[in-house]
A and B are shown apart, each in its own frame.
Chain A
Amino acid sequence: KQEVTQIPAALSVPEGENLVLNCSFTDSAIYNLQWFRQDPGKGLTSLLLIQSSQREQTSGRLNASLDKSSGRSTLYIAASQPGDSATYLCAVPGGKTSYDKVIFGPGTSLSVIP
């Protein structure tokens, strides 16, 4: 059974710092891994999707890496801004296809202090 964990659970940093969020999954046979952002009381915003054949994906100040063999992914945020404050979730397909149900991690709550 696939399980997803995230470390740390919460993180508070001053504006401008670079930071790394960690995600681990128990079953390395994944089709992809996705990072989402969730603002308080809001829905999900998809940030990055990494296919199983890829090692990393970049979008602006965000860079996500994937190491399937070790069951890990990291989300790197460069030059953090107060607007980055949110909960960050990683997720992997929970079944045998890439479009199956998604298993979410518990999230990392990020607070960027001006």
Chain B
Amino acid sequence: GAVVSQHPSWVICKSGTSVKIECRSLDFQATTMFWYRQFPKQSLMLMATSNEGSKATYEQGVEKDKFLINHASLTLSTLTVTSAHPEDSSFYICSASVAGQRTEAFFGQGTRLTVV
């Protein structure tokens, strides 16, 4: 199966700093990448959809200025949590897919973000 690599797997940062999370498709070119968030004891919820070379589409309630998404190449998307606060502490996971060639989306390993 296709491999999606997410880095880092966990990160602890101070309140007010920014954190960047990378999502890479290792053996295929991903035209679309998705970012999900999971709060404790809750299910995964879609945050945004990013298409290579265009602006991301954010789900309702997700602040686009706080969660910056860049999908500059067909193998890399990044999520930057700007001015992080403790309430941003969560599990973030990405998935990648390519139109017409895959019948499913493939998921990264996830990133556990803790803001102190």
Contact = CB atoms under 8 A, between A and B. Distances in A.
B89 interface: no
B43 A105 contact: yes
Given A51-B103, A106-B43, A101 B34 contact: yes
Given A99-B32, A106-B43, A107-B43, A41 B104 contact: no
Interface stretch (B61-69, B72-80, B105-113): B105-113
Contact of B107 (A46, A49, A93, A101): A46
Contact of A43 (B49, B99, B107): B107
**Chain B contact patch, size range:** 20 to 34
Contact of B103 (A42, A94, A99): A99
A102 interface: yes
A93 B105 CA distance: 9
A32 B107 contact: no
A67 to B, nearest CB: 20
A15 B91 CA distance: 30
Interface in A33-80: 34, 36, 41-44, 46, 49, 51
B102 interface: yes
Contacts of B93: 43-44
Interface residues of A, number: 25
Contacts of A94: 46
Interface in B16-51: 32, 34, 36, 42-46, 49
Interface of A: 31-32, 34, 36, 41-44, 46, 49, 51, 89, 93-94, 97-107
Given A89-B43, A97-B99, 19 more contacts: A32-B104, A41-B91, A41-B112, A43-B109, A43-B110, A44-B93, A44-B110, A98-B102, A98-B104, A99-B32, A99-B98, A99-B99, A102-B46, A102-B95, A102-B105, A104-B36, A104-B45, A106-B42, A107-B43
